[in-house]
Structure 1
Amino acid sequence: MARKLIYKSFIDHCKGEKSADAIISEHKQNVEKHSTNTCNVSLPFLHFDNNPIAAASISQVHKAQLITGGYVALKILRPDIRKKYNRDIKLLYFFAKIISKFSKAKRLKPITVIDKFHETMRFELDLRLEAAAASELKDNMRHDINVIIPKIYWDLTSENILTTEWLDGTSIYDISLLKEMNLEPKKIAQDFAVMFFNQAYRDGFFHADLHAGNILVNNQGKIILLDFGIMGRLKEKDRLSVAEILFAFLKRDYKLVAKVHLRAGYIPANTDLDLFAGSCRAVTEPIVGTPTKNISIGKLLTHLFKITEDFGMEVQPDLLILQKTLIMVEGIGRQLDSNVNMWQLAEPWIKKWAVKNLSPEAKLLRLIKHYLNSVNDIT
């Protein structure tokens, strides 16, 4: 009963837009006011560090120890951040509407891009949504033995505060320390690449803010992901199409690249496929024709987006997030080991994926699945 009162009071005081100090101070006063002689604890923590271990424009993170003994990380929104954001997003929409009036800018779909940004920011400004994203990712990766997603403490999580288990680890960029721990950076790079491919192409839901501060490695070499405010999501159609495009590039089958673009609706229906395939060959051969270790998936995708721009492809915000994240993943891989190449790491994974997803049997199963879903929708 005492613990229930403590936790409920703490969450009640996280509902307004208050600073970390204000939340803790008001919570303590409230519990002390309502405590009985049998309730001798004034906080759900044995210790709360008022000095943030990380701080950004939207939130800050504190370390605390629960009364049960375990350590947690508390992410707390800054005061008045929603008011500031609402002011800024109105300004962005204003400029997006102006830009969309120009014919050349229409294909960039500025309003759609701002819509996507606004959707993403919902996760940043309502920490229950970020908690849900972390929970979904953890569930998706429950069988991925080399990846750890922190546990969510739902009874200590609200709109303004997110509480997760505390996980110790070393920055993925601290190569010298990783080696001192007898960990192999090349192996970590391989695991990191496979982790991302599984998230993006297997599950269609991926961490889209993979900078150094959000990635740790524990003493067993397992990858720890933190901060789930920016996530990418790919529909089944898009992840099948993007993976098939990469598979076609691996085979250097540029006509297949063109056909997949057309089938996915990435280029207009009246596109000359031979001309598009030729353009893909022209910009891609200099890249894939170099030694494998020098091939950059990020560079390849950048060139590919330039081609689709020339052929009138409208911007796909979800694919832009994927492209940005792929470039970040590739950069981390090369930071771990300059000889590691994402193309080399991707090749066996994509080939295995292709056997599983592009076979006649797999296509038939997808048709049956879509048919059954359609029947269920009608009934």
Structure 2
Amino acid sequence: MAAPSSPGILLSRFWRPLRIWRLVVQLLAGLWWDGRPWSYPGGRTPERQAARQRRRARWLTSQFLELGSAFIKLGQLLSARPDVLPADVVEELAHLQDRVPAFPFPVVESLLEQELGERRAEIIDLAVEPLGSASLAQVHRASLRSGRQVVFKVQRPGLERLFRLDLEVLQQVAAVVQRHPRWGAGRDWVGIAKECRRVLLRELDFRLEAEHAARFRQQFLDDPGIRIPAVIWELSSRRVLCLDYLPGIKINDREALVRAGIDPAAVAEKGAASYLQQLVRFGFFHADPHPGNLAVAGDGSLIYYDFGMMGQISERLRSRIGRMVRAAAARDASGLVDELQQAGVIAQGIDPGPVRRLVRVMLTEALTPPFSANVLDKLSGDLYELVYDQPFRLPPELIFVMRALSTFEGVGRSLDPGFSLVTIARPYLLPLMTASGNGPNELFNEISRQAAEVGSRALGIPRRLEESLSRIEQGDLQVLIRAGETDRLLRRLALAQQSSGQSFLLGGLAVAAALLAASSRPALVAVPLVLGLPVGLSWLKLQSRLKRDGRLDQLPGVAAASRRE
């Protein structure tokens, strides 16, 4: 391995871990402070707590931007994990975009010489000013001897060394957090750190991005309305990617599209159709369709850029999604929860009642016509609220799907205020609703399975009725009524009574300590202080339990759903 090229790298190996650990300590201290009721002037309210959490999320995003490449990409990955981060943090990280200055042009030329060797002679005109600069690389336009117009994506120098250093420190942080009895409960931070390391190091290999671009282009070869730049393989390597130059108008520049004689509404519909094809037909989709990665050619064709972040839906997951779509279309909350539980999305052995009520709220409010303009945004928000601190473990690819659809819906609305992705999606969802995309056999098997299940239940009804009547006659029948909301309220009432009793006891001990401190024997003040220590710790635990039990009540629409049960 080559020696570090500058003293700055040597200093970074010493100071950077300290900088990362300082951020961790600041974050944990801030979260502890935000969780204390007495830290809110005028008392803690849900509104004040939500506002402070949003400020904390914005601060964390700015810190990730300051730390640079690895943390920008880490934030983008963590934005697909609403099961481990609060909704406000997830939404802020999802908007994390690269804002990194370009590195000098001589460095670009040096890297091209190193990576391409003699093939560098094919490049006869390389633009000095980059077309764009991001955390991983910057892009320069160039001309080849053949006359072909291309762009070169050149990786930042020393990036892999910095990535490995940052990821090593993050694994240490994950191990420390995992050992904490509360922060580590129910979350595999070490596993998340390892997965982030694997994904981020793979993204440093531009040969994989070249394969993604080639596969994505293959999907739309027969569609003249979609353009994906071709890969020039002989001028690409691990740290350099060469693609065809496809200029276009930025997709959210509505005025420029109109001046070019292009209908923005048609562009929005074309983009939505292409995206739904990626999800339903191919199972391989662009996971980051923000306006910087989409453009429109002069003839109205849609151009996709940047294939570093792609998503894939397996056949098994697509089949499972088909059954979920059918249940959602029928407003069958119980069926949807059963499908989620069979898929391992919901933990086994939990009370499905609260989850079923939350799913019913989502189906009723978000998927009831007429669809609101921001139906995908609403679904994503409900999903994030539903997943965090609940018995959910959604596959990351599903979160990427929801986030990508939500992002694209925002792009569509910027082009056409009347844009509705759900309306355009209907013909693409029909295969999922009927046969999960697997032909008529799947539908026939599903109908047969349901018919057999109904038949077996029907045949068992007379026997069950006879058993129930016999038990009634013998006086052995017991009726168990479970009121989930009542049980929860009674439990909270008992906790509140315990908390009140301990508060009075703490107050009495405080008064005793004050009297003893003012007496002729002030040393005795240690007695009430020692007695008050375990009581105070128990009181703090009760407050934590009350706060945790109260989170469910704070979710919008849950109370109304509970009354409808």
Identify which of 202, 207, 210 aligns with 1:131.
210
The question of whether the paired residues in 1 share the 8 Å contact of 2:249 and 2:257 is answered with yes
Instruction: Tell me the SS of whatever aligns to 1:294.
Output: coil
Equivalent position amino acid for 2:290 in 1: H
The question of whether the paired residues in 2 share the 8 Å contact of 1:107 and 1:312 is answered with no
Matched, 1:362 2:362: no
Matched, 1:59 2:59: no
Aligned to 1:141: 220
Q: Show CA shifts across 1:236-281 (max 9, x none).
A: 2223333543443233222221122122111123344555333211
Matched, 1:19 2:98: no
Q: Say if 1:278 and 1:70 are closer, same or farther in 2 by CA, change over 3 A.
A: same
The answer to which of 124-133 and 202-211 deviates more is 202-211
CA distance in 2, matches of 1:27, 1:248: 52
The question of whether the paired residues in 1 share the 8 Å contact of 2:318 and 2:436 is answered with no
Identify which of 237, 255, 260 aligns with 1:176.
255
Aligned to 2:97: none
Identify which of 343, 347, 350 aligns with 1:264.
343
The question of whether the paired residues in 1 share the 8 Å contact of 2:174 and 2:190 is answered with yes
Aligned to 1:233: 312
Once the two structures are TM-superposed, the CA of residue 351 in structure 1 deviates from its matched residue by 2.1
Q: Say if 1:134 and 1:66 are closer, same or farther in 2 by CA, change over 3 A.
A: same
Once the two structures are TM-superposed, the CA of residue 227 in structure 1 deviates from its matched residue by 0.9
The answer to which of 321-330 and 235-244 deviates more is 235-244
Equivalent position amino acid for 1:264 in 2: A
Q: Show CA shifts across 1:9-44 (max 9, x none).
A: xxxxxxxxx93121456799x76xxxxxxxxx9820
Matches within 5 A, 1:29-68: 43-68=121-146
CA distance in 1, matches of 2:166, 2:324: 37
The question of whether the paired residues in 1 share the 8 Å contact of 2:202 and 2:208 is answered with yes
CA distance in 2, matches of 1:94, 1:187: 50
- Structure 1 unaligned spans of 5+: 1-17, 32-40, 367-379
The question of whether the paired residues in 1 share the 8 Å contact of 2:113 and 2:120 is answered with no
The question of whether the paired residues in 1 share the 8 Å contact of 2:323 and 2:436 is answered with no
Once the two structures are TM-superposed, the CA of residue 328 in structure 1 deviates from its matched residue by 1.3
Instruction: Tell me the SS of whatever aligns to 1:291.
Output: coil
The question of whether the paired residues in 2 share the 8 Å contact of 1:55 and 1:61 is answered with yes
Equivalent position amino acid for 2:421 in 1: M
Instruction: Tell me the SS of whatever aligns to 2:261.
Output: coil
Equivalent position amino acid for 2:221 in 1: R
Matched, 1:152 2:231: yes
Aligned to 2:542: none
Equivalent position amino acid for 2:154 in 1: I
The answer to which of 182-191 and 246-255 deviates more is 246-255
CA distance in 2, matches of 1:144, 1:110: 43
The question of whether the paired residues in 2 share the 8 Å contact of 1:151 and 1:164 is answered with yes
Task: Tell me how large the CA RMSD over aligned residues is.
Answer: 2.8
Matched, 1:120 2:199: yes
Aligned to 2:424: 345
CA distance in 2, matches of 1:92, 1:207: 27
Aligned to 1:281: 360
Matches within 5 A, 1:309-328: 309=388, 311-328=390-407
Matched, 1:220 2:308: no
Once the two structures are TM-superposed, the CA of residue 46 in structure 1 deviates from its matched residue by 2.7
Aligned to 1:98: 176
CA distance in 2, matches of 1:256, 1:44: 60
Q: Show CA shifts across 1:196-239 (max 9, x none).
A: 22223322221112122211111222111111111112222223
Aligned to 2:156: 78
TM-score under structure 1 length normalisation: 0.80
Q: Say if 1:192 and 1:166 are closer, same or farther in 2 by CA, change over 3 A.
A: same
Matched, 1:252 2:331: yes
Aligned to 1:7: none
CA distance in 2, matches of 1:145, 1:260: 38
The question of whether the paired residues in 1 share the 8 Å contact of 2:325 and 2:433 is answered with no
Once the two structures are TM-superposed, the CA of residue 360 in structure 1 deviates from its matched residue by 5.3
Q: Show CA shifts across 1:112-152 (max 9, x none).
A: 43344333323431111110111121223333442211100
Instruction: Tell me the SS of whatever aligns to 1:220.
Output: coil
CA distance in 1, matches of 2:314, 2:113: 45
- Structure 2 unaligned spans of 5+: 1-105, 447-565
Equivalent position amino acid for 2:175 in 1: K
Which of the two has greater helix per residue? Answer: 2
Equivalent position amino acid for 2:149 in 1: Y
Among all aligned residue pairs of Structure 1 and Structure 2, give the percentage whose two residues are the same amino acid.
25
Equivalent position amino acid for 2:138 in 1: Q
The question of whether the paired residues in 1 share the 8 Å contact of 2:373 and 2:419 is answered with no
Instruction: Tell me the SS of whatever aligns to 2:151.
Output: strand
CA distance in 1, matches of 2:313, 2:190: 20
Q: Say if 1:182 and 1:308 are closer, same or farther in 2 by CA, change over 3 A.
A: same
Q: Max radius of gyration: which structure?
A: 2
CA distance in 2, matches of 1:42, 1:285: 60
Report the number of matched residues: 339
Instruction: Tell me the SS of whatever aligns to 2:140.
Output: strand
Q: Say if 1:94 and 1:198 are closer, same or farther in 2 by CA, change over 3 A.
A: farther
Matched, 1:242 2:353: no
Aligned to 2:409: 330
The answer to which of 224-233 and 67-76 deviates more is 224-233
The question of whether the paired residues in 2 share the 8 Å contact of 1:48 and 1:62 is answered with yes
Instruction: Tell me the SS of whatever aligns to 2:121.
Output: coil
The higher-RCO structure (CA 8 Å, 6+ apart) is 1
Equivalent position amino acid for 1:93 in 2: Q
Q: Say if 1:365 and 1:285 are closer, same or farther in 2 by CA, change over 3 A.
A: closer
Equivalent position amino acid for 2:110 in 1: A
Matched, 1:303 2:391: no
Instruction: Tell me the SS of whatever aligns to 1:227.
Output: coil
